[in-house]
């Protein structure tokens, strides 16, 4: 009996391991295959060339300053997204379509780094479908400083994407039967201020790619071509808006600082003017000690209050809106050292208010 039991102690774990291996092999080989008509997209077109890389495909279009790295959905052959990305590349956004190990982006969520280290673009965007989108969001959350934005196709984040210079676009179909809408709603808590959500009426989960129907999905009310066309249009709109915002920020000639940094300057530097740009009535109801009142509306007509254009000027208002306007006016007038620190509503030092 003892010998039989010892044999069982060897055989049973081996059997369990074999079963687990067979199950794993079956799982990773049971995936959605690309439609046959997608093969034509592998051929070079007049406006888009497709080059094979070690990590997937590079779609080089007529653009040269913006690129998107794309993570495929789980258990979907990566070439299924060629039509969508080819259309995007034709519109000037070069695309990198990543081939994931075992068709699971979970095993390759850091592949974006290799691409970004190997190519030079002014604007980098990351995107993905379903699990690929979730893994793209996970990577983006730790690399917000090197990315300009994220496009989620039927996906949601589980980590923070909050950054003043980061954009997120979320797209999904109204007939999606796979996307967990409850998790999608929870994911909004991680989104930055520059966040947009687009529901494609009549679209479903699978039609972002070309791999046929997906288990659990609902039938779409629009064609695959229409869903992908709307997707490309929304992505281009998001990227254009982001570039416009970047250009506006580049035009700013004043600096934004935190209330904490403002207080530090007030405490340690003598040659500082604290400028309250609210109305006189608001100023009289309570203001930061030693602040000078110069309403935003009067800045252009009363420049003599600030004779030295090299003076360090700390600007605030009630909530941070008028202070930005005033700071820009001062910068446009030639003041060289303007610092805006928001509104008195967010001022964390009540002992300095009188």
Write out the catalytic residue numbers: 317
Q: What are phi and psi of 316, to 5 degrees?
A: -145, 165
Burial of residue 327, with CB atoms counted within 10 A of its CB: 0-12 exposed, 13-18 middle, 19 or more buried:
buried
Distance CA 216, CA 205 (A): 9
Q: What are phi and psi of 175, to 5 degrees?
A: -105, 20
On whether the CB atoms of residues 152 and 169 are closer than 8 A, the answer is yes
Helix axes 111-118, 131-141, angle to 10 degrees: 60
Distance CA 111, CA 115 (A): 7
Show the CA angle centred on residue 83, arms to residues 77 and 89, nearest 5°.
120
On whether the CB atoms of residues 208 and 128 are closer than 8 A, the answer is no
Distance CA 15, CA 157 (A): 38
On whether the CB atoms of residues 60 and 34 are closer than 8 A, the answer is no
Run of H or E including 317: strand 312-317
Distance CA 49, CA 308 (A): 57
On whether the CB atoms of residues 128 and 96 are closer than 8 A, the answer is no
On whether the CB atoms of residues 114 and 55 are closer than 8 A, the answer is yes
Q: What are phi and psi of 273, to 5 degrees?
A: -110, 125
């Amino acid at each position: 009996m003892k010998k039989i039991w010892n044999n069982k102690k060897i055989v049973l774990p081996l059997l369990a391991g074999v079963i687990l291996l067979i199950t794993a092999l079956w799982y990773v080989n049971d995936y959605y295959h690309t439609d046959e008509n997608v093969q034509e997209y592998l051929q070079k077109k007049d406006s888009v060339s497709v080059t094979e890389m070690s990590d997937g495909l590079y779609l080089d279009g007529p653009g040269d300053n913006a690129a998107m790295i794309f993570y495929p959905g789980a258990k979907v052959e990566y070439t299924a997204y060629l039509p969508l990305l080819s259309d995007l590349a034709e519109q000037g956004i070069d695309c990198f379509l990543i081939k994931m190990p075992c068709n699971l982006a979970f095993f390759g969520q850091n592949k974006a780094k290799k691409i970004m280290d190997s190519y030079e673009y002014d604007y980098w965007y990351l995107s993905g479908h379903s699990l690929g989108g979730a893994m793209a969001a996970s990577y983006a959350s730790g690399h917000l400083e090197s990315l300009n934005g994220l496009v989620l196709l039927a996906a949601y984040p589980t980590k923070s994407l909050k950054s003043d210079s980061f954009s997120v676009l979320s797209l999904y179909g109204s007939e999606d039967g796979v996307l967990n809408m409850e998790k999608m709603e929870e994911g909004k808590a991680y989104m930055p201020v520059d966040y947009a959500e687009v529901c494609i009426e009549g679209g479903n989960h699978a039609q972002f790619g070309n791999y046929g129907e997906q288990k659990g999905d609902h039938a779409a009310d629009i064609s695959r071509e229409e869903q992908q066309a709307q997707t490309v249009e929304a992505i281009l709109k998001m990227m254009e808006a982001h570039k416009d915002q970047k250009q506006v920020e580049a035009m700013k000639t004043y600096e934004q600082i935190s209330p904490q940094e403002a207080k530090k300057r007030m405490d340690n530097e003598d040659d500082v003017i604290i400028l309250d740009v609210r109305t006189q009535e608001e100023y009289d109801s309570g203001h930061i000690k030693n602040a000078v009142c110069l309403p935003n509306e009067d800045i252009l007509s009363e420049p003599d209050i600030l004779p030295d254009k090299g003076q360090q000027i700390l600007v605030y208002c009630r909530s941070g809106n008028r202070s930005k306007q005033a700071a820009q006016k001062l910068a446009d007038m030639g003041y060289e050292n303007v610092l805006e620190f928001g509104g008195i509503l967010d001022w964390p030092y009540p002992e300095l208010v009188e």
